[in-house]
Structure 1
């Protein structure tokens, strides 16, 4: 298969505009008029609600704009210093298994974080990517995806150097007992460009892993 288009958006991308662009691209991928896309963006501060979001988890509804989305998951935060990856792939061609797709996304982030010396891992019953901190396990990468007619969109958020206090306006991912962290909070100096380079370097392995796991139905 042809590799997906890789695009890094400069500056801050309006969240509503990103949603509209994703919707249009998904339809274009579906009808064959545009290639798959990996779209890396940075947003102004926003809270977004997935399909499982609980109203009481929005602790400070007036703090930042709030968007209802069709992705899976609960409340999360996007903002400066966080790399958001919108992953638009055609699972009709890559294997119709959403669980395997999410699993491969987690592995991709884990591999990218390893390039900074961070040991990240999955946790049973908790979607996303986690790492050990002096305060216990903390989330460093979130995942929320949507699939329409087997074309994926939305994707992941990797905390590079966001203002972690901004997560205080929500219960992140509905998990009040677990904090969030970032590369910066772990004492690692990295830019979004550094994160992009790590993601790009580990992307071929993501595609290979996705193909292998889809073929084996994640067994």
Structure 2
């Protein structure tokens, strides 16, 4: 998929975290220098934990998987098979230079994508990410953690399609112990990655248009 000269890439298999970060940082630098196109990169990782810039060591409960320091905002999160991770390398220098508007637009894009798949989800002020109701209480289904360097975005989002939710037990996800984590599968939605990606792509033009509107 291409929109407004933005490359859209779906990576097959599992991508190592260090490999992904190195590739993302190199691409972001090239975008800033005008040597590369903007990129939406969709991956899956092997099981691992990442610690954002606000991570509290006490919230790493059981480091059963490798732990990586991450330059994104936020605290601890889990990545693994069955979870779609989207890395966004977009030039906010050309799209409004408003990080808050970018995060808000990203939340809207995720909510619209999940809505197409039959999941009613929403953003909550003060709690970055995507939320829905599961078993009578609020549960987190998607996480957002971004970084902006020289007005080019890095990192992005993750959405739980059908991961092993027990793997989240090694951390306090995003520093919010009072809320469980859920997935499309746990909510009774049988959705594969290709179907999710297609729903994501349908909402991409509106996401980009919302960034242009914030200029």
> TM-score, normalising length from structure 2?
0.97
Equivalent position SS for 2:100: helix
Equivalent position SS for 2:40: strand
> Given the alignment, which residue of 3, 8, 11 partners 1:9?
11
Distance of 2:162 and 2:211 partners within structure 1: 28
Once the 2 structures are TM-superposed, how far is the Cα of residue 2 of structure 1 from its aligned partner?
3.0
Distance of 1:50 and 1:211 partners within structure 2: 28
Equivalent position SS for 1:71: coil
Instruction: Give the equivalent residue in structure 1 for 2:181.
Output: 180
Consecutive unaligned residues in structure 1, runs of 5 or more: none
Once the 2 structures are TM-superposed, how far is the Cα of residue 104 of structure 1 from its aligned partner?
0.5
Give deviations 1:75-97, integer Å, cap 9, x for gaps: 00000000000000000001100
Give deviations 1:60-112, integer Å, cap 9, x for gaps: 12x00000011000000000000000000000001100000000110000000
Distance of 1:162 and 1:65 partners within structure 2: 17
Once the 2 structures are TM-superposed, how far is the Cα of residue 133 of structure 1 from its aligned partner?
1.3
Distance of 1:47 and 1:135 partners within structure 2: 28
> TM-score, normalising length from structure 1?
0.96
Once the 2 structures are TM-superposed, how far is the Cα of residue 124 of structure 1 from its aligned partner?
1.8
Consecutive unaligned residues in structure 2, runs of 5 or more: none
Distance of 1:126 and 1:3 partners within structure 2: 32
Q: How does 1:1-219 map to 2 (within 5 A)?
A: 2-61=4-63, 63-212=64-213, 214-215=214-215
Superposed CA RMSD: 0.9
Equivalent position SS for 1:102: helix
Equivalent position SS for 1:84: strand
Distance of 2:20 and 2:6 partners within structure 1: 18
Distance of 2:140 and 2:158 partners within structure 1: 11
How many residues are paired up? 213
Equivalent position SS for 1:153: strand
Structure 1 outlier segments of 4+, above 6 Å: none
